């Protein structure tokens, strides 16, 4: 990530920065290490949550445990250097006036250090209380804000700053001004995935500006950056509420008027069709039926040899995010299948992440956390579901043919045939090949529609 901030750093320097489904009563699966060691083909029960909160970075309160620090500002070091120079001059010239001038210059520095020490001791005794909040999950390339609210003992007239750290140690730091116990850090997300944001210190300067204290905070939060969606060169066909390749009927749907019948004791008054009842002078009740909504599925090939490099894998993930976003705008439920070969075998296996109706957008969080190159293959990716309990997870071995509405892969190194499992010749689906400038011989059945997406350099 790249951070930008407003405000001046202590000492007059400008601050900068481096830069399936969930069902009630379902039980959690085994631990992460156990799941990673299970053979593909095992099944884990769907997960559920009682809260159903919106995907937002958590608020966090954490007690600081590090010791405060004291340091001189540039102005303080300058006065101290002049005082030492005067002492050295007295040693050579033996003029008492020089020692008096050195004492006069060093006294404010000592007083400033004592004032900064008092601030540090008071806040070490009564440790600051911190609350961090972050904006909703952004997409790569978008700007987000992380704000902090601190309760500590600091005079309002003293200048203070919050020292932030983004990512690993020394990878990105920033200073933002603290005003009335509040501060905010603005940053631009450069890549998808989780990003750790930590508040390290409150930096407060004493009134003379000669010394400052660093009060430890140590609170952190995680911001999940979603992949930037990419559009396909041609629109996808609208999903239908039928048994599509790899899909299934939706459990819920839109209500539509089916028929009218006579009122029976016990029928709800809200179901009475009053206008029609008034016409025939008899109570009529509306009987409604649910129209099943489609539940499409998307398959993403995460086989390491399927892509020429990380940039082509990111292009495929962006295309998958575009497809999921289209289904989310239609308020559909959907499945995401991650396809790869079993280690040491030629057979294909899949991890199926499922969502409830109208929650297809939650699959973007799976795409954001994908690390296809991680050791352990598909088994290691099961941990993605730990961060989103409203996703169901199933590890399956593919049958003879892969079934999905959309399959996304890429052309491998050397521009050879795209890597994907055998596709069902009796189904109608869409095969998307990322990193291909033109439609090439992919080996897909004639019933499948092939879309080639060129690299950005070629477009």
For each of the chain's 459 residues, which pLDDT tens digit applies? Answer: 544 444 444 444 333 333 333 333 333 343 333 333 333 333 333 333 332 333 344 444 443 467 899 999 999 999 999 999 999 998 888 888 898 999 999 999 999 999 999 999 999 888 899 999 988 888 999 998 999 999 999 998 999 999 999 887 656 788 999 999 999 999 888 889 888 899 999 999 999 999 999 999 988 888 999 999 998 888 888 776 554 444 443 344 444 445 788 888 888 887 888 888 888 888 988 876 555 678 899 999 888 777 877 888 888 999 999 999 999 888 888 999 888 887 766 788 888 888 887 788 889 988 998 887 665 566 667 777 777 777 777 777 777 788 889 999 887 665 567 788 888 888 888 988 887 655 455 678 888 888 888 765 444
Contact 394/288 with Cβ under 8 angstroms?
no
The predicted structure's pLDDT at residue 204 = 95
Structure tokens at 357: 């109706």
Those residues whose C-beta lies under 8 Å from the C-beta of residue 357, and which sit 6 or more positions away, are 250, 251, 252, 293, 295, 331, 332, 333
The predicted structure's pLDDT at residue 176 = 94
- Name the residue with tokens 């002078």: 281
The predicted structure's pLDDT at residue 72 = 95
β-sheet bridge partners, residue 341: 348
Structure tokens at 189: 């997300």
Rounded Cα distance between 332 and 358, Å, is: 4
- Name the residue with tokens 């700053």: 161
The predicted structure's pLDDT at residue 392 = 76
Name the residue among 228, 223, 51 with its Cα closest to residue 137.
Answer: 223
Contact 46/26 with Cβ under 8 angstroms?
yes
The kind and range of the H/E element at 120 are: helix 96-125
Those residues whose C-beta lies under 8 Å from the C-beta of residue 421, and which sit 6 or more positions away, are 301, 339, 348, 398, 401, 402
């Amino acid at each position: 990530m790249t951070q930008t901030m407003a405000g001046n750093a202590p000492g007059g320097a400008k601050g900068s920065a481096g830069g399936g489904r969930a069902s009630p009563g379902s039980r959690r699966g085994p631990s992460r290490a156990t799941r990673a060691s299970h053979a593909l083909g095992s099944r884990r029960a769907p997960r559920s949550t009682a809260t159903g909160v919106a995907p937002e970075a958590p608020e966090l309160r954490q007690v600081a445990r590090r010791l405060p620090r004291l340091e001189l500002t540039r102005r303080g070091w300058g006065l101290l250097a002049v005082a030492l120079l005067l002492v050295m001059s007295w040693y050579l010239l033996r003029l008492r006036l020089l020692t008096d001038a050195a004492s006069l210059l060093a006294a404010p520095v000592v007083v400033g250090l004592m004032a900064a020490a008092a601030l540090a001791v008071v806040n070490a005794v009564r440790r600051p209380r911190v609350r961090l909040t972050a904006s909703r999950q952004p997409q790569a390339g978008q700007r987000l804000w992380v704000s902090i609210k601190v309760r500590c003992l600091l005079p309002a007239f003293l200048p203070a700053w919050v020292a932030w750290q983004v990512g690993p140690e020394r990878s990105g730091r920033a200073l933002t001004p603290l005003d009335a116990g509040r501060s905010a850090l603005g940053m631009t997300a450069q890549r998808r995935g989780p990003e750790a944001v930590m508040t390290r210190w409150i930096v407060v300067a004493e009134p003379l500006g000669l010394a400052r204290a660093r009060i430890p905070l140590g609170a952190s939060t995680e911001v999940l950056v979603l992949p930037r969606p990419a559009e396909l060169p041609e629109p996808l066909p609208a999903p239908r509420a039928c048994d599509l390749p790899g899909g299934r009927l939706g459990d819920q749907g839109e209500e539509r008027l089916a028929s009218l019948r006579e009122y029976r004791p016990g029928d709800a008054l809200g179901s009475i069709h009053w206008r029609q009842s008034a016409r025939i002078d008899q109570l009529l009740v509306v009987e409604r039926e649910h129209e099943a909504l489609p539940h499409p599925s998307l398959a993403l090939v995460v086989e390491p040899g399927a892509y020429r490099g990380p940039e082509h894998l990111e292009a495929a993930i962006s295309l998958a995010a575009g497809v999921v976003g289209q289904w989310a705008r239609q308020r559909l439920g959907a499945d995401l299948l991650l396809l790869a070969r079993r280690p040491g075998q030629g057979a294909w296996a899949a991890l199926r992440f499922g969502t409830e109706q109208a929650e297809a957008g939650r699959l973007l969080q799976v795409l954001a956390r994908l690390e296809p190159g991680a050791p352990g293959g598909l088994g290691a990716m099961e941990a993605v579901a730990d961060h989103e309990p409203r996703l169901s997870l199933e590890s399956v071995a593919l049958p003879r043919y892969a079934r999905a509405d959309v399959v996304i892969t890429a052309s491998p190194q050397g521009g050879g045939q795209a890597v994907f499992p055998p596709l069902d010749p009796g189904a109608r689906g869409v095969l998307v090949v990322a990193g291909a400038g033109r439609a090439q011989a992919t080996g897909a059945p004639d019933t499948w529609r092939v879309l080639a997406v060129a690299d950005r350099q070629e477009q």
